[in-house]
């Protein structure tokens, strides 16, 4: 008996050519083993790379506090204690590390077979979340038992060690990798043969006119608006309205990142299994995971405005919301590689540029909407974020695509070297 869910997934995309992740007629070689493979070694090294990138961001914030305290006069200390309400737990924002994410996207355009993209990219980028979770308490321990300078020595040494491994073990493409097996190389190259462009020039005009790209832009912008609201403004709401203890907030602040890390890893596995084993189209999978990862947080964000004075429920809602947001790592977040793998790094650079706007505009708008700091005013802030997120999810569902766009395939049979 056939599964009605599978039938629904297949009927969902009858208007597109995205019946499979490859172009029609493209050869599909049997997958090379994952264990000890070059592509999964790249994913693991990228995981630790993003782990270190975010660890360096967090330890700077932690060490800076200790650094300032060690050079502050007694009078300054009395001044700082006069305004305890303005202290807050350390927060690190996702996808705001300049060139690292676009650069990794560009590498995966040559390394990630279409049916393994969700797994490989989710493994890679999940390092950012775990780096936040681990480095926050570890930096505090180093500062407490040793000295703030050792925070930089420790993580700096780890970063140098990782860099040496990266230079030694990683190559830009499978063709230039010295230790990849011939079978894995052929598997990767054959799976991408009809997806990469041989054009050296970037088709800027078609890129900027591409509606699927703007669908990702809208989704990325909307997701980040809610993300910033959850991880910066909701803790403020907990502190100002719920009178939640700041120290307890700091101890629990790693839970949302831990949940997001776990969800990213699991959702990547689930997304590719749906595509490979259940024959779900790429677009259908991207839609499903984007809807869950955007509408889910919106629901719990609105619910946060009706929890009364229960701060434990606020922490639970914050954790659940950011955990559900991890589904987007297998949704719109990697859709750049679906529609234009040859230009995925450029596309992510474009979408990430727009996605930084909520970080600048959101807090300003929230501040203007909460002059009296009442529950009703904060509910309005949460409503706005939820509406924006739902709009982004719907927009991506309507206009997103899962197949390689024609402007990204100037030469359908070309192969990039």
Q: CA–CA separation, 266 vs 289, rounded Å?
A: 12
Q: Give the separation between CA 289 and CA 284, rounded to whole angstroms.
A: 9
Report for 2-6, 29-33, 57-61, 264-268: range of highest mean pLDDT: 264-268
Q: Is the pLDDT of residue 84 over 50?
A: no
**What pLDDT does residue 363 have?**
85
Q: Is a pLDDT exceeding 90 seen at residue 353?
A: yes
Tens of pLDDT, residues 154-176? 999 999 999 999 999 999 999 99
**What is the pLDDT averaged over residues 380-405?**
96
Q: CB under 8 Å, gap of 24 or more: what pairs does 350-354 form? A: 350/207, 350/213, 350/217, 351/213, 351/216, 351/217, 351/220, 352/95, 352/96, 352/101, 352/102, 352/220, 354/217, 354/220, 354/221
pLDDT band for position 243 (cuts 50, 70, 90): confident
Mean pLDDT of all residues in 96-103: 78
Q: How confident is the model at residue 198 (pLDDT cuts 50, 70, 90)?
A: confident
For each of the domains in the chain, give its residue range(s) and CATH number, in order of start: 34-70+97-193 (no CATH), 201-412 (1.20.1250.20)
Q: How far is CA 353 from CA 94, 174, 363, 371, in A?
A: 13, 30, 18, 30
**pTM confidence score:** 0.83
Q: What is the chain's mean pLDDT, rounded?
A: 83
Asked whether residue 346 carries a pLDDT value surpassing 80, the answer given is: yes
pLDDT category of residue 70 using cuts at 50, 70 and 90 = low
Give dist(CA 179, CA 167) in Å, integer: 13
Query: CA 94, CA 130: separation in Å to the nearest integer?
Result: 12
pLDDT band at 139 (very low <50, low <70, confident <90, very high): confident
Give CA separation, 78 vs 40, 63, 90, in Å.
53, 21, 22
Per the model's pLDDT, the better-predicted residue between 413 and 195 turns out to be 195
What is the per-residue pLDDT for 304?
85
């Amino acid at each position: 008996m056939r599964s009605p869910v599978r039938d629904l997934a297949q009927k969902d995309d009858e208007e597109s050519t995205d019946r499979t992740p490859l172009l029609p007629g493209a050869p599909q070689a049997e997958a090379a083993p994952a264990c000890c493979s070059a592509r999964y070694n790249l994913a693991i090294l990228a995981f630790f790379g993003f782990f270190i990138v975010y660890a360096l961001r967090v330890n700077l914030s932690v060490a800076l506090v200790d650094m300032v305290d060690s050079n502050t006069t007694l009078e300054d200390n009395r001044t700082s204690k006069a305004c305890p309400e303005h202290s807050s737990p350390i927060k690190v924002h996702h996808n705001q590390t300049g060139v690292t994410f676009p650069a990794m996207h560009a590498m995966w355009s040559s390394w990630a077979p279409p049916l393994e993209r969700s797994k490989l990219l989710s493994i890679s980028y999940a390092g950012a979340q775990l780096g936040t979770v681990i480095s926050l308490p570890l930096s505090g321990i180093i500062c407490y038992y040793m000295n703030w300078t050792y925070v930089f020595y420790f993580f700096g040494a780890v970063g140098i060690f990782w860099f040496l491994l990266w230079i030694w073990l990683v190559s830009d493409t499978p063709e230039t990798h010295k230790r990849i097996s011939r079978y894995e190389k052929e598997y990767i190259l054959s799976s991408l043969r009809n997806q990469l462009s041989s054009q050296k020039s970037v088709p800027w005009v078609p890129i900027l006119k591409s509606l699927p790209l703007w669908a990702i832009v809208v989704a990325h912008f909307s997701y980040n608006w809610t993300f910033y609201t959850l991880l910066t403004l909701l803790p403020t709401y907990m502190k100002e309205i719920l009178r939640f203890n700041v120290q307890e907030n700091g101890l629990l602040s790693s839970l949302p990142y831990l949940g997001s890390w776990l969800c990213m890893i699991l959702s990547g596995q689930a997304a590719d299994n749906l595509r490979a084993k259940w024959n779900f189209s790429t677009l259908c999978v991207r839609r499903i995971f984007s809807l869950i990862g955007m509408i889910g947080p919106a629901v719990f964000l609105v619910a946060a405005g009706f929890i009364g004075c229960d701060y434990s429920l606020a922490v639970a809602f914050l954790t659940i919301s950011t955990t559900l947001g991890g589904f987007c790592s297998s949704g719109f977040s990697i859709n750049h590689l679906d529609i234009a793998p040859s230009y995925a790094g450029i596309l992510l650079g474009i979408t990430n540029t727009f996605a930084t706007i909520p970080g600048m505009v959101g807090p300003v708008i929230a501040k203007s909407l909460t002059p009296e700091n009442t529950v009703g005013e904060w509910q309005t802030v949460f409503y706005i974020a939820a509406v924006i997120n739902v709009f982004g999810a719907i927009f991506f569902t309507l206009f997103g695509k899962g197949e390689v766009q024609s402007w990204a395939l100037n030469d359908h049979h070309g192969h990039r070297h």
